[in-house]
A and B are shown apart, each in its own frame.
Chain A
């Protein structure tokens, strides 16, 4: 059942002396409760696409719809994690994690409790009273994650939420995200530069191509969510398939997705 739909989306940014066509003819859908990953070279409009899904941008052409109705403003049931993790420097970690709940009207005590649970989930239980200024980049990213986790979102949008973490921590947090999805059953759009992460967390992987951004290919990945998926041969096949597609895009160099 279609939940989030991009229908022939066009988006342009008007700069001082030029116009950039960020997205053109972008179309794909996400079903209710379905986790998808989006991968593609930098500059292909992935972040713009997420902002559109969050209702923070309105497309110049086409419609973004949720549950059949066009999206015109941010929804409270949507949780967005941006690359800069959006932490407010003047609030403590737990207040930052609780912010989404507070805005939705929850009282301070309840929101702090749920925030602390979420922080514990991402391994930051002891840092509830610290300020973002005292945390490392990786820790701040996890606080952003906790904020999204604390909300009962039915749509989780994430822009490279684990990029600042080292490989070990990253895999741990990927497990946390997977576990969260299993328990909550929300729809999810994860933008990532990591092929392995895309295959681990996306039932379908959407490959985008740049200038202007559009969908190049969608790789089905039904094995996602199986026990110990990272060791399965299917996992490696999917990764290889993605590598081929991205290499054909000219986006690959030595196995990683290139940042121009």
Chain B
């Protein structure tokens, strides 16, 4: 933490740009603007969380099912491989026309991006489930749903969490883009609005807030992962 602050101060000193104030200058400004930043921050966070939740809740069951069913896989895998590399963010203008400038267009965009990332991961994780585990549960008379619940889902969870953590970065980045281009509120808008007014300390306070939001989100996911995957850390 100290190293980070020190590095920041050095960088600011070296660059001598009004756009990158050092911590000594930026932090007090940040604190003084908190009351203004909080509502924007809350909005941005809500958008990210909602879209990640939607994307994940749709992608996990579908991805796991595709991974476990050869039939579904033969249908969906080619579709996935074709569409995944397309940078979905370029469709932002389309969404803006369809859904307007409000929350929905942003949430749809981020949810779609997260959906693809998690879908791919869930499918791969489902395919990698150890067959011995599946066999032993089948031998107990388990139906397909039991296997999904007792074997596939818990086995895939660590990989899904990893993908979630990575998605956080993407989600916040895309939100920033969407809010700065076509928004009337949120941290992204706040940052670009300050930039337009050439109020760099204010801009940087917004940047700090957005960075903080990303970190908080990441940590929450990390905590959830720790709570649900204790078994991984107990290997002899």
User: If A82-B135, A86-B132, A90-B229 touch, does A76 touch B141 (CB 8 Å cutoff)?
Assistant: yes
A46 and B157 alpha carbons, distance in the complex (Å) = 35
B80 CB–A CB distance under 8 Å? no
User: If A84-B132, A133-B235 touch, does A74 touch B139 (CB 8 Å cutoff)?
Assistant: yes
A82 and B136 alpha carbons, distance in the complex (Å) = 7
* Closest CB in chain A relative to B97 CB, distance in Å: 46
A99 contacts B235, C-beta separation under 8 Å = no
Residues of B within 8 A of A80 (CB): 136, 139-140
User: If A103-B150, A133-B231 touch, does A86 touch B136 (CB 8 Å cutoff)?
Assistant: yes
B142 CB–A CB distance under 8 Å? yes
| A residues in contact (CB < 8 Å) with B | 54, 56, 74-76, 78-80, 82, 84-91, 99-100, 102-104, 130-136, 151
B139 contacts A99, C-beta separation under 8 Å = no
Name the contact of B137 in the complex, choosing from A76, A88, A134, A135 (C-beta under 8 A).
A88
* Closest CB in chain B relative to A161 CB, distance in Å: 13
A217 and B136 alpha carbons, distance in the complex (Å) = 30
A136 and B236 alpha carbons, distance in the complex (Å) = 8
A90 and B225 alpha carbons, distance in the complex (Å) = 13
A103 contacts B146, C-beta separation under 8 Å = yes
User: If A90-B229, A131-B231, A133-B231 touch, does A103 touch B137 (CB 8 Å cutoff)?
Assistant: yes
Residues of B within 8 A of A103 (CB): 137, 140-142, 146, 150
B10 CB–A CB distance under 8 Å? no
Taking A132-B231, A133-B234 as known contacts, 12 extra A-B pairs with beta carbons closer than 8 A to each other, sorted by chain A number, are A84-B136, A86-B132, A86-B139, A87-B136, A88-B136, A90-B154, A99-B150, A103-B146, A103-B150, A131-B231, A133-B235, A134-B235
User: If A84-B132, A86-B132 touch, does A131 touch B139 (CB 8 Å cutoff)?
Assistant: no
A80 and B135 alpha carbons, distance in the complex (Å) = 10
Secondary structure call for the B interface: helix
* Closest CB in chain A relative to B159 CB, distance in Å: 13
B155 CB–A CB distance under 8 Å? yes
A88 and B133 alpha carbons, distance in the complex (Å) = 6
Q: Which of B157-203 contact A (CB under 8 A)?
A: 157
Residues of A within 8 A of B137 (CB): 86, 88, 99, 103
Supply 29 A–B pairs (Cβ within 8 Å), ascending by A.
A54-B139, A74-B141, A76-B140, A79-B140, A80-B140, A82-B132, A82-B139, A84-B132, A84-B136, A85-B136, A86-B133, A86-B136, A86-B139, A87-B136, A88-B151, A88-B154, A89-B133, A89-B231, A90-B231, A91-B154, A103-B142, A103-B146, A104-B140, A131-B230, A131-B231, A132-B231, A133-B234, A134-B235, A135-B236
Interface residues of B toward A: which range?
20 to 34
What are the nearest 7 A-B pairs in CB distance? A86-B136, A76-B141, A90-B154, A80-B139, A133-B235, A131-B231, A100-B140
A134 contacts B234, C-beta separation under 8 Å = yes
A86 contacts B135, C-beta separation under 8 Å = yes
* Closest CB in chain B relative to A150 CB, distance in Å: 11
A92 and B154 alpha carbons, distance in the complex (Å) = 12
B138 CB–A CB distance under 8 Å? yes
Closest residue of B by beta carbon distance from A55? B139
* Closest CB in chain B relative to A77 CB, distance in Å: 9
Residues of A within 8 A of B232 (CB): 133
B141 contacts A56, C-beta separation under 8 Å = no
Identify the interface centre among B139, B155, B232, B234: most chain A CB within 10 Å of its CB: B139
* Closest CB in chain B relative to A18 CB, distance in Å: 21
Closest residue of A by beta carbon distance from B155? A90
Residues of A within 8 A of B133 (CB): 86, 88-89
A79 and B136 alpha carbons, distance in the complex (Å) = 10
Closest residue of B by beta carbon distance from A85? B136
Identify the interface centre among A79, A90, A103: most chain B CB within 10 Å of its CB: A90
